[in-house]
Amino acid sequence: MINIDEILKACQLMLSTVREKSEIELNPLLIRIQYVINEMESHFLVIASNIEDIKTEKYHWSILYREGDILDEMATLIHNTTPVSIRTEVDYIKQQLITFTSMVVQTFGKRESLYIITPKFQELAGLW
Amino acid sequence: MMGWDSSRVDMNIYTQGKIDKLVYSTCNICSNGCGCFIAVKDDKIVGIVGNERYPVNKGRLGPKGENQWWANNSIDRLKTPLIRHNGKLLSADWEDAYTLLVEKTKDALKRKGPGGLAFYHTGQAYLEEYYTISKITRAGLRMHHVDANTRLCTATGEWSLIESFGSDGPPACEEDVEYADVIVFFGRNSNETNTVFWERVLDARRRNRTKIIEIDTRNDVSDRMADLSLQPRSGTNVAVLNGIIHLLIKNNWIDHAYIENHTVGYEELKRTVARYTPDFVEQITAIPQGKLIQCAEWIGTSEKILTVLLQGVYQSMDATAASTLVNSMHLIMGKIGKPGSGPFQHAGQPSAMSNREVGGAGFYPGYRNNDNPKHILEMAQLWNVDEETLPVGPQTFISEIMQLIDQGEIDLFWVMFTNPAVSLPNRNKMIEVMKKPFLVVQDPFLSETAELADLVLPTALWGEKEGTMTNLERRVYILRKAVNPPYNLPSDFEILLEFSHRMDFKDRDGKPLISYRTPEEAFNEWKAVSKGRPCDMSAMTYEKMEELGGIQWPCNEQYPNGKQRLHVESRESALLLGDR
């Protein structure tokens, strides 16, 4: 079950922290990560709206896992360049994506899931 | 036939008495890939001579190329493998080295699976070596954590070509230099980094009055020799290009028929660049408005324009976006796929292109997509392995690999022919990270990375092994073996084959996964894998490459001697549709 409110809350928290920092520091990573978070939010919202078309659902999950990879990488890059505390929220989103892997595998089967869930999240979830 | 004005044979030979022979080869230093002969005396390399008949250089050599053979004779070369005992690297024999490598690999696989291994390699090996890496790491070890130093080099060029054209492959070629009215160098100091290519450009300017535009943040020698020099603030390449495209559209220096028939997204591009007026661009880039306008005018009103780009674009802010905008600039003018016109994404290292073609890192061989089930199935059939065993999804970037090593997730890190202790950012941290796993380093010298290793495997160098490379214009060429390697050192290729044999990798019929024994046999297997792909090399042979002085892919039944330019067909169909 997707707890969309909690996910959106985490996204908003990240956004406000990053925006606050952007006002005092010109760091392109802080600008870029906002786009990633916004995009994640919109895909989570679509997934949570119980899409009936399985192809569309696959599309959104595929993007979400790829964004999960990017979010994690960018959070590390930001952490290495400036002190911004978004790691808790990033880890929460990652954890949610890990939790959803079993649901994705159940819906799409193992073979299809290989193309939806990125290797990183397959490994983190200990899927196979 | 266009070409160099004249030939000039550069040479650097140092020997007492006559040399024994000259062996056909190609330079191994930069992406230009100049034809040469290796001078040999008493089974030692004693010099190099430019190949007068070779189309790329007509006998010329760059200063680094002329002196590369000193490395072969260096007294610093490693003679035996080294194994770390009680903190010290000690000389070992090859049997012990291979046994340890296999033991540690199996141990890591047993404890953590393929995720416990990482492989980081190079842009300076031979095509056959990259192909073997691809096969071993994917079909043998089934691992994701594979990357190469090309990630820090020209991966941007590759991605910009994928974004614009759906596939890697620089559209233009070196001969375009002679046809172009204007050559734009963007972030490319050719005068000091590719002297042979720069000389060709100056030759063309002398003969054709070709205009040279330099766009570079630094006021380097190339800049000072240009007809027009733009020096944007660092990190503002996208604004420069948006500004140029804005002016091209505003002045209608664009090809409407070409846009209509061969492009998508023009309206979005037009909207994006609408606000990039010369005034706005000056505020961002510090380029005076007059200079930007003049630059756009030369680009827009010249019939043929070639844009050469390299690290000043690839390794700067918004690199892929800037590099992709160069492609877009050419597409909206329809200046692509014809002599003298096109974006020309150069590579830096000599064989970065080969690495990309055969899937040494990043994609599957033949530019096959890791996320495409059809491509995975094709590779499973070509390699005769079960589809389920091949890794799906993107490979891990080196930055992430280093993070995983730091977190203790990776137990064995194998580095081949590159020196991350020097080249990775945040060096001190990286050195500490590399002390954590079991570190294997394959290198002819005790590099800074090798000094950190637990196992060092010394290798043969250029001139001591055989294989092929691809240069910056898709020209695949042969590098012949001139001498035996000193101390009986194996090549990278031979080490990989021995490793595969000892790991007992099998295909689905229980036969050895790797059945080829020589680089030429490996190339022949790769040819079949490349068939029908953009980088099709199915009609190439070693002999033909030597005879023709390299061959530009695609090379197949349709183009038996290769193809100079890509996207020519779209150009021709546009002409049929009433294009200018």
Question: Which residue is closest to B369 within chain A, CA to CA?
Answer: A115
What mean pLDDT is predicted for residues B429-449?
97
Which of B317, B388, B393 shows the shortest C-beta gap to A119?
A: B393
CB of B50 closer than 8 Å to CB of B35: yes
pLDDT in tens, B105-135: 999 999 999 999 999 999 999 999 999 999 9
The confidence band for B569, taking pLDDT boundaries of 50, 70 and 90, is confident
Contact: B317, A123; criterion CB under 8 Å: no
Tell whether B400 lies on the interface with A, counting CB pairs under 8 A: yes
Instruction: Identify whether the C-beta of residue B455 lies closer than 8 Å to the C-beta of residue B83.
Output: yes
Q: CA–CA separation, B402 vs B397, rounded Å?
A: 9
CB B120 within 8 A of CB B415: yes
Q: Which residues of A touch B397 (CB under 8 A)?
A: 73
CA distance A119 to chain B (A): 6
Q: What is the pLDDT of residue B153?
A: 83
CA distance B8 to A124: 59
Fold observed for domain B82-152+351-552:
Rossmann fold (3.40.50)
Structure confidence by residue, pLDDT tens digits, B162-183: 999 999 999 999 999 999 999 9
pLDDT tens digits along A59-68: 999 999 999 9
State the average pLDDT for chain A.
Answer: 92
Question: Domains of chain A, with CATH numbers?
Answer: 4-125 (1.20.1440)
Distance from CA of B154 to the nearest CA of A (A): 20
Q: Hey, what CATH topology would domain B11-70 get?
A: Phosphorylase Kinase; domain 1 (3.30.200)
Q: Is B406 on the interface with A (CB under 8 A)?
A: no
In this prediction, residue B185 carries a pLDDT of 95
In the predicted model, what is the mean pLDDT of chain B?
94
Edge-to-edge order in the sheet of strand B228-230 = B228-230, B211-215, B182-186, B305-309, B342-345
How far apart (Å, rounded) are the C-alpha atoms in residues A95 and A99?
A: 6
B310 touches B215 (CB < 8 A): no
CA distance B34 to B31: 9
Does the pLDDT of residue B384 top 70, yes or no? yes
Q: Helix, strand or coil for residue A2?
A: coil
Chain B residues whose beta carbon lies within 8 Å of the beta carbon of residue A76: 403
Split at pLDDT 50, 70, 90, the class of B571 is: low
Contacts of A114 in chain B (CB under 8 A): 392-393
Q: Is B290 on the interface with A (CB under 8 A)?
A: no
Residues A43-67 as b or e (16 or more Cβ within 10 Å = b): bbebbbeeeeeeeebbebbbbbbbb
Question: Which chain A residue has its CA at the smallest distance from B429's CA?
Answer: A80
For the entire predicted model, the pTM comes to: 0.94
**CA B68 centroid distance within chain:** 19
Helix (H) or strand (E) holding A96: helix A87-116
For an interface test with B, give the residue of A67, A120, A124 to mutate (most B CBs within 10 A).
Answer: A120
User: Which chain B residue's Cα is nearest to A128?
Assistant: B113
CATH number of B155-345: 3.40.228.10
- Closest-CA residue of B relative to A121 is B393
Phi and psi torsions of B31, nearest 5°: -80, -5
Asked if B400's CB is within 8 angstroms of A73's CB, the reply is yes
| Interface predicted TM-score (ipTM) | 0.85
Kindly report, residue by residue over B83-97, the tens digit of the pLDDT. Answer: 999 999 999 999 999
Per-residue pLDDT tens digits for B34-46:
999 999 999 999 9
A80 touches chain B (CB under 8 A): yes
For B459, phi then psi, to 5°, come to -135, 165
Quote the pLDDT of residue B579. Answer: 37
Q: What is the spatial order of strands in the sheet that B21-26 belongs to? A: B11-13, B44-50, B35-41, B21-26
Whether cis (ω within 30° of 0) applies to the bond prior to B278 is no
Residue B578 has pLDDT above 50, yes or no: no
SS3 category, B438: strand
Domain ranges of chain B: 11-70, 82-152+351-552, 155-345
Q: How far is CA B154 from CA B109, B348, B352, B414, B417, in A?
A: 32, 7, 8, 22, 17
- Does residue B344 sit in helix, strand or coil? strand
Condensed to tens digits (0 to 9), the pLDDT of residues B211-222 reads 999 999 988 888
Q: CB distance A119–B371 less than 8 Å?
A: no
Residue of B392, B396, B400 with shortest CB distance to A115: B392
